[in-house]
Structure 1
Amino acid sequence: MNYVIGIDIGTSGLKSIVVNKSGEVVDSHSISYKTEHPKSGYSEMDPDVWYEATLDSLRHLLNKFDRQSISGISFSGQMHGLVVIDEDGNSIRPAILWNDTRTSQEVEDIKQAVGLETLLKHTQNTVLEGFTLPKLIWLKNHEPENYNKIHKFMLPKDYVVYKLTGNVHTEPSDAAGTIMYNIKSEAWSLELLNQLNIDSNICPEVIGSHESSGVLTDRIREKLNIDWEINVYQGGADNACGALGSGITDETKQLVSIGTSGVALSIENSPNYENDGNMHYFSHCVPNQKYVMGVTLSAGYSLEWLKQLINTSEDFNVFLKDISQSKIGSNGLMYTPYLLGERTPYNDASIRGSFIGLDANTTQLDMKRSVLEGITYSINESIEIMRNKDIDIKEIVSIGGGAKNEEWLQIQADIFNVPITTRTEEQGPAYGAAMLAAMGEQWFDSFDDMNESWIKYRGKVSPVSSHSESYHKLFNIYKLIYTATQPITKDLTQFK
Structure 2
Amino acid sequence: MNGEALCIGVDLGTSSVKVCALGANRRVCAEVSRAYEVDAPRPGWREIDPERWWEATCNALDALVAQLRGAPVAAIGVTGQMHTLVPIAIEGSALRPALMWNDVRTASLLDEVRDRLQAADAYESLRSVSTGSAALNLFWMRRVEPELFDRLKCFLIGPDWIVYKLTGVLGTDFCEASTSSLFDTKSRTWSDAARAALGLPEEIFPQIRGSLEIAGDVVSSVHIPQELVGVPVIVGTGDNPAAAYPLGCLTEARSALSLGTSGVLMGVRHARRSGSQGSCQDSQHAADAVFTADVAQDADLPGKTVLFSPHGRHFIELVQGSIQSCGSTRAWLIERICNTKDYAAIDQDIDRVATGRGELMFFPHMSGEKTLFSDPSLRGAFFGLTPETSRADLSLAVMEGIAYGFKQLSECMGIPADTSEPVLVTGGGSKSAIWLQILVDVFGLPMQAAGSVSAGFGAALMAQQAACETTSFSLQGLGDPIEVDPEAHLRHMAAYQKYLGLIEVVRLVSG
Q: TM-score range by the shorter chain?
A: over 0.9
Whether the 8 Å contact between 1:331 and 1:366 is mirrored in structure 2 is no
Contact 1:256 1:398 in 2 (8 A): yes
- Asked if structure 2 preserves the Cα contact closer than 8 Å seen for 1:331 and 1:362, the reply is no
Instruction: Compute the TM-score of the two structures, normalised by the length of structure 2.
Output: 0.90
**1:282 correspondence with 2:283:** no
In the other structure, the counterpart of 2:168 is 166
Is residue 2:206 matched to residue 1:180? no
Counterparts of residues 99-114 of structure 1 (less than 5 Å):
99-114=102-117
Deviation at 1:458, TM superposition (A): 1.8
Quick check: 1:324 aligned with 2:346? no
Question: Measured at CA, do residues 275 and 432 of structure 1 come closer, stay the same or move farther in structure 2, by a change above 3 Å?
Answer: farther
* Deviations 1:65-104 (CA, angstroms, capped at 9, x unpaired): 3546211101111111111112210111100100000101
Q: Distance in 1 between matches of 2:315 and 2:384?
A: 47
**Which residue is equivalent to 2:256?**
255
State how 1:443-462 maps to structure 2 within 5 Å. Answer: 443-444=469-470, 446=471, 449-450=472-473, 452=474, 455-462=476-483
Alignment of 1:77 onto 2:80: yes
| Superposed counterparts of 1:388-467, under 5 Å | 392=419, 394-423=421-450, 426-444=452-470, 446=471, 449-450=472-473, 452=474, 455-467=476-488
SS of residue matched to 1:473:
helix
Structure 1 residue 138 displacement after superposition: 0.5
CA shift in 2, pair 1:116/1:455, >3 Å: farther
1:298 counterpart residue number: 325
Alpha carbons 2:350, 2:396 under 8 Å: kept? yes
Equivalent position amino acid for 1:434 in 2: A
Counterpart of 2:371?
344
Q: Secondary structure at the match of 1:218?
A: coil
Task: Give matches, 1:136-215, under 5 Å.
Answer: 136-215=138-217
Q: 1:118 to 1:432 in 2, by over 3 A?
A: farther
What is the identity percentage for the equivalent residue pairs of Structure 1 and Structure 2? 27
Q: What's the secondary structure of 1:282's corresponding residue?
A: strand
| TM-superposition CA deviations, 1:447-467 (whole Å, max 9, x none) | xx12x1x63422111111111
Partner of residue 376, structure 1: 403
Match of 1:128 in 2: 130
Q: Is the 8 A contact 1:326 1:365 kept in 2?
A: no
SS of the equivalent of 2:152 reads coil
Alignment partner, residue 225 of structure 1: 226
Alignment partner of 1:367 out of 382, 394, 399: 394
Deviations along 1:448-491, whole A, 9 cap, x unmatched? x12x1x6342211111111111111111111121112211221x
Q: Is contact 2:117-2:126 (8 Å) kept?
A: no
Instruction: State how far apart, in whole Å, the 2-side matches of 1:113 and 1:89 are.
Output: 31
Q: Which moved more, 1:38-47 or 1:123-132?
A: 123-132
Alignment partner, residue 500 of structure 2: 479
How far residue 342 of structure 1 moved from its aligned partner, in angstroms, is 1.6
Q: Would the aligned equivalents of 2:75 and 2:232 in 1 still touch at CA under 8 Å?
A: yes
1:43 to partner: Cα distance: 0.3
The alignment yields a C-alpha RMSD, in angstroms, of 2.1
In the alignment, which of 7, 15, 26 is matched to residue 10 of structure 2? 7
- Once residues 385 and 69 of structure 2 are traced to their aligned partners in structure 1, the CA distance between those partners, rounded to angstroms, is 59
> Taking structure 1 as reference, are residues 391 and 136 closer, same or farther at Cα in structure 2, changes over 3 Å only?
farther
1:60 aligned to which of 42, 45, 63: 63
Secondary structure of residue in 1 paired with 2:348 = coil
Q: Distance in 1 between matches of 2:40 and 2:375?
A: 21
Query: SS of 1:16's equivalent?
Result: strand
Segment of structure 1 superposing worse, 283-292 or 298-307 = 283-292
**Residue deviations 1:363-417, cap 9 Å, x none?**
2221110101001111111222344796747521111122101111111110111
Name the counterpart of 1:493.
none
Residues 3, 70 of structure 1: 8 Å contact kept: yes
Aligned amino acid, residue 87 of structure 2: V
Unmatched 5+ residue regions in structure 1? 491-496
Q: Is the 8 A contact 1:275 1:281 kept in 2?
A: no
Q: Which residue of 2 aligns with 1:267?
A: 268
Distance (whole Å) between structure 2 residues aligned to residue 394 and residue 117 of structure 1: 41
Q: Secondary structure at the match of 1:18?
A: strand
CA positional deviation for 1:116? 8.3
The SS at the match of 2:400 is helix
Q: Tell me the alpha carbon deviations over residues 115-142 of structure 1, each in whole angstroms, 9 at most, x when there is no partner.
A: 1893334x48421112111100111111
5+ residue gaps, structure 2, are 273-294
Which amino acid counterpart does residue 400 of structure 2 have in structure 1? E
Query: Deviation at 1:171?
Result: 0.3
Amino acid of the residue matched to residue 382 of structure 2?
F
CA distance in structure 2 between the aligned counterparts of 1:227 and 1:144, rounded to whole angstroms: 39
**Is the 1:254–1:267 contact (alpha carbons within 8 Å) kept by the matching residues of 2?**
yes
| Shift in Å, 1:418 | 0.8
1:159 and 1:278 map into 2 onto residues whose CA distance is 29
Contact 1:326 1:369 in 2 (8 A): no
* Pair 1:457–1:390, CA change in 2 (3 A): closer
Distance (whole Å) between structure 1 residues aligned to residue 359 and residue 110 of structure 2: 38
**TM-score, structure 1 as length reference:** 0.92
| SS of residue matched to 1:476 | helix
CA contact (8 A) 2:118 2:126 kept: no
